[in-house]
Amino acid sequence: MKALRLGTRRSQLATAQSRGVADEVTRLTGQPVELVEITTYGDVSRESLVSIGGTGVFVSALRDALLAGEIDFAVHSLKDLPTAQPPELALAALPPRADPRDALVARDGLGFEELVMAGGAAGPARIGTGSPRRMAQLNAWARGLGREIDTVSIRGNVDTRIGYVRAGELDAVVLAAAGLGRLGRTGEITDLLAPDAVLPAPGQGALAVECTAARPELVAQLARLDDPHTRIAVTAERTLLAALEAGCSAPVGAFADLLADGQTVTELRLRGVVGTPDGAQLVQLSTTGPLPASVEEAAAVGRQLADEMLAKGAAGLMGERAL
Q: Residue 81 pLDDT more than 90?
A: yes
Instruction: Kindly report the backbone phi and psi dihedral angles of residue 192, in degrees, each rounded to the nearest multiple of 5, phi listed first.
Output: -95, 125
Work out the end-to-end distance of the chain between its first and last CA atoms, rounded to an integer number of angstroms. Answer: 42
Q: Sorting pLDDT into bands at 50, 70 and 90, what band is 13?
A: very high
Mean pLDDT value of segment 123-143: 96
Q: Which of 79, 101, 126, 182 is catalytic?
A: 79
Q: Residue 172 pLDDT more than 90?
A: yes
Domain 102-193 has CATH 3.40.190.10: yes
Q: Which of 72, 80, 99, 102 is catalytic?
A: 80
Q: Is 101 a catalytic residue?
A: no
Mean pLDDT value of segment 186-193: 98
Domain 228-317 has CATH 1.10.3720.10: no
Nearest to 61 by CA among 52, 51, 70, 53: 70
Helix axes 12-29, 158-166, angle to 10 degrees: 140
Domain(s) labelled CATH 3.40.190.10 in the chain stretch across 1-95+206-226, 102-193
The Cα-based distances of 96 to 132, 224, 232, 272 in angstroms read 27, 11, 11, 22
Q: Which of 101, 134, 231, 238 is catalytic?
A: 134
The reported pLDDT for the residue numbered 111 is: 98
The reported pLDDT for the residue numbered 261 is: 87
Q: Residue 42 pLDDT more than 60?
A: no
Q: Provide the residue type at 223 as one letter.
A: A
Q: Sorting pLDDT into bands at 50, 70 and 90, what band is 50?
A: very low
The reported pLDDT for the residue numbered 248 is: 63
Q: Is 43 a catalytic residue?
A: no
Q: Return the number of other C-beta atoms located less than 10 Å from residue 220's C-beta.
A: 11
Mean pLDDT value of segment 278-299: 96
Of 248 and 256, the one with more pLDDT: 256
Architecture of the CATH domain 1-95+206-226: 3-Layer(aba) Sandwich (3.40)
Contact (Cβ atoms closer than 8 angstroms) between residue 275 and residue 283: yes
| Residue pLDDT, tens place only, 144-165 | 999 999 999 998 999 999 999 9
CA–CA dist 105, 175 (Å, integer): 8
Domain(s) labelled CATH 3.30.160.40 in the chain stretch across 228-317
Q: Which of 9, 101, 126, 133 is catalytic?
A: 133
Q: Provide the residue type at 170 as one letter.
A: L
Q: Is 133 a catalytic residue?
A: yes
Q: Is 5 a catalytic residue?
A: no
Q: Which of 161, 182, 238, 271 is catalytic?
A: 161
Q: Which of 107, 143, 147, 155 is catalytic?
A: 155
Q: Residue 4 pLDDT more than 50?
A: yes
Q: Sorting pLDDT into bands at 50, 70 and 90, what band is 18?
A: very high
Can you give the three-state secondary structure of the chain, one letter per residue?
CCCEEEEEECCHHHHHHHHHHHHHHHHHHCCCEEEEEECCHHHHCCCCCCCCCCCCCCCHHHHHHHHCCCCCEEEEEHHHCCCCCCCCEEEEECCCCCCCCEEEEEHHHCCHHHHHHHCECCECCEEECCCHHHHHHHHHHHHHCCCCCEEECCCCCHHHHHHHHHCCCCCEEEEEHHHHHHCCCHHHCCEEECCCCCCCCCCCCCEEEEEECCCHHHHHHHHHHCCHHHHHHHHHHHHHHHHCCCCCCCCEEEEEEEEEECCEEEEEEEEEEEECCCCCCEEEEEEEEECCCCHHHHHHHHHHHHHHHHHCCHHHHCCCCCC
The reported pLDDT for the residue numbered 160 is: 95
Between CA 134 and CA 141, with CA 140 as vertex, the angle to 5 degrees is 90
Q: Is 10 a catalytic residue?
A: no
Q: Provide the residue type at 30 as one letter.
A: G
Q: How long is the chain?
A: 323
Q: Is 211 a catalytic residue?
A: no
pLDDT-wise least confident of 30-39, 233-242, 244-253: 244-253
Q: Provide the residue type at 27 as one letter.
A: R
